[in-house]
Amino acid sequence: MNKFIVLAITLVLGSSTFSQEDPVIMTIDDKEITKTEFLQIYLKNNNDPKYDKQSLDEYVELFTKFKLKVAEAENLGYGTIPKLVKELRGYTKQLALPYLVDSLKTEALVKEAYYRTANEVRASHILIKVNPKASPKDTIGAWNQIMQLKRKIEGGEDFATVAKTSSQDPSAANNSGDLGYFTAFQMVYQFEDKAYKTEVGKVSMPFRTRFGYHILKVDDKRAARGSIETAHIMVSARESDGPEVMDDTRNKINEIYDLLNNGGNFEELVKKFSDDPSSVDKQGKLPAFGTGSTTRMVPAFEDAAFALENDGDFSKPVKTAYGFHIVKRLKWSPVPKFDKLEDNLSSRVAKDERSKQTQNSFVSKLKVEYKYKSKAKKGLKWFYENLDSTYFQGKFSADQVTKNKPLFKLDKKKFTSKEFAEFLASSHRGIRQNGSMNVLVDNQYKIWEKNAILDYEESKLTGKYPAYKALVTEYHDGILLYEVMSDLVWNKAMKDTTGLKEFHAGHKGDYIWGTRLNSDIFECYTAEAAKTVFSLLTSEGADTLEVVQVVGLVNGESELNVRHRNSKFDTSKTRYLKEQNLGMGVNEVYEYDGKFYVIRVDEILEPSEKEFGEAKGAITSDYQNYLEQEWLKELRKKHTVNINKEALYSIGE
């Protein structure tokens, strides 16, 4: 089971003390859940909450099972397992980010992101690679290279040609540096920022990202195209299929396109011919894509869709890496107004590299709030005098610091030289000896001080913000629940071969094959094609005809007449076989859901018990459910659960 499915269904808890105004609804062991807290949980997990006795009882039962599992995980020490502690720490760091920024600067960045969402830029670039931790010599060398290329362009050489021959971006050999159109969040922030701030037709000054030095040329700016809902007919093909298959596929999509132009119904043609299993039962409909959507399509598909002028228009066949498509426009929507995207943009800004700007400002405000006092001038003297080249070899230890002097104070708390020394010792990897040790100490101190101040503020968030505390608890419980369920139910069931076989032996009647037909199925798109197939299969000398010959004779130069399948088909699970009175040999033509079928049955397999290997997936799933129910019985005996029904039923009053 996916861990994030588990996280999604976990229940947000809080801590509170009992009072007459906020009675305790339930207690599991020594942990109390108040009416206010329970209502918060109930509303979070119910889009359409109901407050009748039956609905509340059902939810309390679900909640109790969840809390019993979490309580057992805590009793078994899962909360102290290092990898889980580390995982939770990673989540809490992410959850804390929105609370560790300057809100005013964040607001400006959100508005900037909206403008860049509503307006696209097309740019080409040239890259000279340089490692973020490169030496001054390598850095200067990269700078000189990029400047030399810029001078070539200023001297009249074509940007695309220079990019193709000199850029160290591997894609430049094919695209001449052209990155196409992009909007906010699709490039690293420094690159995005430079592109939007450079005029169309102009070449930027060199700038640095984590990849190296770039220069870029802005080719165009335009309003974003909005979002679009489409449907498609897809005929699958890949380059690896070979030229013959590719030609057949191209012919097939062109035939379908001709049918559409001659008045054919798009939805019926989807049903008959589309090879996209995710959309064929939805009349070819696809998720919306474009501005404000996380769904992306390949460029050729997007360009074809946005080129359609009216709802209901359809495109000529479009080739992608997946095959050929005919795209139909269902509905186009312009870029949403700011208030519709604000929450999403705020969340993305908080997680994006641009949030570092707001953190620096936030740290400055925290220093004022917590009466920051620096003592670094004296405190760093020991490091200037004692840190040497052995540091780069990992030989420096915090134990070398004998006097634990304060380096700064914040909220009356001292942050000491020992703590800074521990940071230095743990962060030597990747640092090169490029200059004086004093400069290194100063740079590392700035990083440590900022992180220490942010960590201190993070430690206070649960007391300041109930919503943050609830989220942290949610992730904590979700991680523990996933791990304990994996160990005691899911993985246990998959590894316990003996238990699985014993479970199967006791439940063989639950795993039965329905009636199966070992048969050739000819799925025809017209009644005429089906009659031709039937005639060929029942004609004199039919026994000498190979299936491929039958298909070839019926299809001729078309790819739209017949499709063949051969297997053992379960009549109860195959839609077009249900309720059909099929016998041995070639059966009469019949129609189902707009298609025509000719079924040649070689063998009828009567219902029978499935062997262990044939039903292992279903057996494993059922065995997991069995283990979980047995485990819950044990937990109910082991842990104490008390429910205050009077307080519970008062919810919603």
**Nearest of 570, 445, 485 to residue 519 by alpha carbon:** 570
Residue where one domain finishes, among candidates 420, 438, 459: 459
Percentage of the chain beyond pLDDT 90 is 69
Average pLDDT over residues 389-403: 90
The total of structural domains in the chain comes to 5
Say if 597 falls within a structural domain: yes
26 and 36 part of one domain: yes
- What is the full DSSP assignment across 114-156? HHHHHEEEEEEEEEEE--TT--HHHHHHHHHHHHHHHHHHHTT
Sheet of 641-643, strands arranged across: 31-34, 24-28, 641-643
598 and 631 part of one domain: no
Strand bridging mode 212-223 / 119-129: antiparallel
- What is the full DSSP assignment across 29-91? TTEEEEHHHHHHHHHHT-SS---SHHHHHHHHHHHHHHHHHHHHHHHTTGGG-HHHHHHHHHH
Q: Which two tokens stand for residue 294?
A: 């996380």
Q: Quick one: angle between helices 35-44 and 53-75, nearest 10? A: 100
Chain centroid to Cα 363, Å, comes to: 32
pLDDT digits (tens, 9 = 90+) for 282-310: 999 999 988 756 677 888 899 999 999 99
Say if 503 falls within a structural domain: yes
**Residue 111, pLDDT score:** 95
Chain centroid to Cα 618, Å, comes to: 28
250 and 326 part of one domain: yes
265 and 401 part of one domain: no
120 and 219 part of one domain: yes
**Whole-number Å distance between alpha carbons of 266 and 259:** 9
Tell me how many degrees the CA angle 512-517-518 measures, rounded to the nearest 5: 115
pLDDT digits (tens, 9 = 90+) for 172-200: 988 899 988 888 988 999 999 999 999 99
Residue where one domain finishes, among candidates 418, 444, 459: 459
**Residue 18, pLDDT score:** 34
Say if 85 falls within a structural domain: no
pLDDT digits (tens, 9 = 90+) for 511-526: 999 999 999 999 998 9
pLDDT band at 142 (very low <50, low <70, confident <90, very high): very high
178 and 135 part of one domain: yes
**Residue 135, pLDDT score:** 77
pTM of the model as a whole? 0.57
604 and 619 part of one domain: no
Say if 341 falls within a structural domain: no
Say if 48 falls within a structural domain: yes
pLDDT digits (tens, 9 = 90+) for 125-139: 999 999 887 877 888
504 and 633 part of one domain: yes
Chain centroid to Cα 477, Å, comes to: 21
**Residue 294, pLDDT score:** 62
542 and 601 part of one domain: yes
529 and 564 part of one domain: yes
Most confident segment among 3-7, 276-280, 557-561? 276-280
Give residue 192's domain range. Answer: 116-223
**Residue 445, pLDDT score:** 96
**Whole-number Å distance between alpha carbons of 344 and 223:** 20
Is the confidence at residue 3, as pLDDT, over 60? Answer: no
Q: Which two tokens stand for residue 281?
A: 């039962």
604 and 524 part of one domain: yes
**Residue 510, pLDDT score:** 93
494 and 630 part of one domain: yes
Say if 92 falls within a structural domain: no
Is the confidence at residue 1, as pLDDT, over 50? Answer: no
Question: H-helix or E-strand containing 632?
Answer: helix 616-638
Say if 355 falls within a structural domain: no
**Residue 474, pLDDT score:** 83
**Whole-number Å distance between alpha carbons of 9 and 328:** 37
Say if 281 falls within a structural domain: yes
| CATH (domain of 175) | 3.10.50.40
Percentage of the chain beyond pLDDT 70 is 96
pLDDT band at 243 (very low <50, low <70, confident <90, very high): confident
